[in-house]
Structure formats: structure tokens, C-alpha cells
Amino acid sequence: MRIVLAGTGSAVGKTTISTGIMKALSEEHQIQPFKAGPDYIDTSYHTLATENNSRNLDSFFMSDEQIRTSFERGLKTSKADFGIIEGVRGLYEGISPIEDVGNTASIAKAIDAPVILIINARSLVKSAAAIVIGFKTLDPTIKIEGVILNQVKNKKHYLKTKEAVETLAKTDVIGGIQRDDAIKVEQRHLGLVPAVERENLLNYIEKWGEVVRENIDLDAFMEIMKNAGKLPEGREDTWHQENHKKVKIGVAMDEVFNFYYTENLEALKANNAEIIPFSPLHDEEVPDVDGIYFGGGYPEIFAKELESNESMRKSVLKFHKDENPVYGECGGLMYLTNAINGKKMCGIFNYESTMTKKVQGLSYVIAEAQKDNVITQKGDIFRGHEFHYSKVLLNGQKPEFAFNILRGKGIEGAQDGLMKNNTLASYMHTHTAACPQFASNFTLNAGK
């Protein structure tokens, strides 16, 4: 029992509507949320709405068989009967103008899920029907079984547009949301503000749930989910698993560092790691662990507070100097440099990170390991993604890099992955399905 909530494009209200539906249905059902694509922030809203960790399904990272494995794992872990997937960008937007890799349509196909199309209906009536006809005609294998009209002016506008879509596009309209600034979502340079940072966010989500209950036919929505049928055959593992010695992995988790894929942490646990959360912002020192994982986030927003926690910064530096394994992604990379915009950080790498006005990296990435490191071995080719407005200022120095970037940008000159002792830090975010050796290698290094 599953469904995909797709948009005709970005900024049509997918996250607000999807999260509202998840919240409304979670009052009576166990809902497992998912996000198409690599986004970390939308998933934090889903998780808050459903109290189940949202998961990412991504056809650049995953084969169809891995997508189905990941989808089933999510339902099994949360003991949910229903899986709701929020799409990314427009239904057909991916890395190719004609193929499906990296788009929402590829996820719907992989799990054979019905699709609800969300349209920004501002100033549209008959044209809304044309949009639906176009989306249905472009790929008839995509099962668009319902439409939600967002940004309608009033009830009259909604009813006229509903009539146009149902009569001309032969597709049920299951609801419409009127324009309301009170349910807009706060934005930042990487997208929405993460749920962990937003006080009173649960109040917003409660409001979105109320709006959904009042304006969307949830019985019709549930009926579409229930009629989805069986998942297609074919499964594939999303990580390598070895019987390593038991280790403790410290994972930085707080307002600063919160960009983690659920399956990355599950893969570490499957490789005999105990996850020990800690806060570089609030705690005084690194906990008693064998390795540290710094995910992404917004260290630039909290640079002053991170600088003031000198005992933690010195503790991380000592942990590194003792040659324990440390792995940092994007925001984690920035924290491990000398400074962020002049504010002192850990100083493992003798460079400064600085924020820029323009995006510096926004791409799916393919990388080849040119040296053995804490997560990959020389010659490994794996995938990830990068999205950042910061730069690492190398000032003419030539650091030791772990990765050649075959697709994407990296730190400099198509290279990424700063290496020093047993520490690795890169702009690339990895997902275990796209780097299945990640957890096995990291826990192996932590156990040495």
C-alpha cells in the first residue's frame, strides 16, 4: 500500500502538502514516509509528522531492486502498512532531459506506485487540465490517479478547475488548498530550515494536518494507496555486511550536524557498530568511541557557538592525532578545517572554509578512490551528491586527496576527500546503496 506525491515542478507545495497528509493519516495509521532524491531536510519534516524516520529513494544511488529493498525495509522497520513518497522537483525532472535517472517517475516505476499530481493552480482553470493531460501522455506507464490543486483562490475557483481536470483530463481531483501565507515554509540557502532547528515546528505541522483534513479527500487518497497491488519482483542488498569486531561509532547529532541517511546508520549497525550520538555544539568532549562520523548540516550558522566550545574542538583534534578514524561530509568537512569564516574550528586540515553568495557545488557525483581510506579502497568507483555554498581555501597548497571526481566538482580540480592520518573529509555525501562498502570499511578501520 503505497503512493507517490509528485509535483509539476519545484515550489508547488509538495513538502507542506505531503507532510500534512502524513500527519493527518498518522493519527489513525502507521505511516512510513519516504523522499525521492537525496534531500535531507524534507525528510526531517516527515519524521516529525509520523514519528517514523523518513528514508530516501534515489535512482541515481540505487538500482530498481535496491529501491524495492529499501522501501520494504522502511515499512518493516516502522511496522507500517502504508508508504508515502514525496517526490523531488517536477515528476519527470532528473539528470537527463529524456531519461528517468534521478527523477520521481523512476521511483514510481520501480515500486509500481500510483501517483498523485500536485499542481500550483494559481490563475489556472482549463489550463490545469492541459497540464494533467501532458503529464499523463508523456509516459503512459506512470499511473497518475489523482490531482491536488494548490494555491486556489477560493471555492469557486477550485470547483471550476476541478471540473476542467475531471472532464477534460479524465482524472479525479481529490482536493484543493487555498492560498494562505500562514502555512508557508521558512527557506534557507540549502532549502527548508531543518526540523531540528525550528521551534514550534510541530505546531506548523499540526496546522498543515488540519488544512489537509479540511480540504483533501483522505478516503479517496487511502483507496488509491490500497489499490496499489503487490511490489514488483527483484531485490538487491544496499550494503556490504561483514562480521567485524564490535565497535562504537560516535555520530555528531545536534542542531548543527543532522544530515544523515537512515540506512547509513543502519548499515553501520549491521556491521557490528554501536551508534553513540554526541553534540559538538553542547558536549565538552568526544565520547568513548572507536571512530567518529560528522554528517552535513549548517556549521556556518553556528560557527560562533562551535568556536566557543574549545574543549570539544581540542578533543576532536586529539582523537584525530591518536589516528582514530574520522569521517566528515560537507558540513563535517568544514568543521574539521582551521576555521569557518574566521571562526576557529578543529584544525585537522590547515585550510579555511568560507561561505559564498553563489552555489559552489550542486550535482550528483561519481568518484573513484585513488587511495585507500576509511570508507573505500583504491579503485572503488561509487556515487554521491554535493550541495554547498562554501569553499575550502587551499591557497596554492596541494593536499592529499582520496578521490578523483568523474562527475561533479569536488573541492578543487575535480578532486575531493582531504586525507590526513586516519581522517577523511569531503564535500560529497554518500549513501550506502551507492557506496555499499562504506559501513564495512569504516567499522573495520574503527576496530583496528
DSSP SS3 for 72: helix
Q: Are 118 and 145 in contact (CB under 8 A)?
A: no
Residue for grid cell 565497535: 247
Q: Are 86 and 42 in contact (CB under 8 A)?
A: yes
Whole-number Å distance between alpha carbons of 314 and 327: 17
243: number of Cβ within 10 Å: 6
Cβ burial of 210 (10 Å; 0-12, 13-18, 19+) is middle
Cβ burial of 374 (10 Å; 0-12, 13-18, 19+) is buried
CA 238 to chain centre: 16
Point out the catalytic residue in the list 330, 374, 418, 439. Answer: 330
The three cell numbers locating residue 8: 509539476
Q: Are 260 and 223 in contact (CB under 8 A)?
A: no
Q: What distances in angstroms separate CA 151 from CA 55, 87, 120, 341, one per listed residue? A: 28, 19, 6, 40
Instruction: Please state the three-class secondary structure of 437-448 as a single string.
Output: CHHHHHHHHHCC
DSSP SS3 for 321: helix
435 has catalytic annotation = no
Q: Are 90 and 9 in contact (CB under 8 A)?
A: yes
Strands 337-340, 343-344: pairing kind: antiparallel
DSSP SS3 for 228: coil
Strands 390-393, 343-344: pairing kind: unpaired
DSSP SS3 for 253: coil
Query: Which residues belong to the active site?
Result: 330
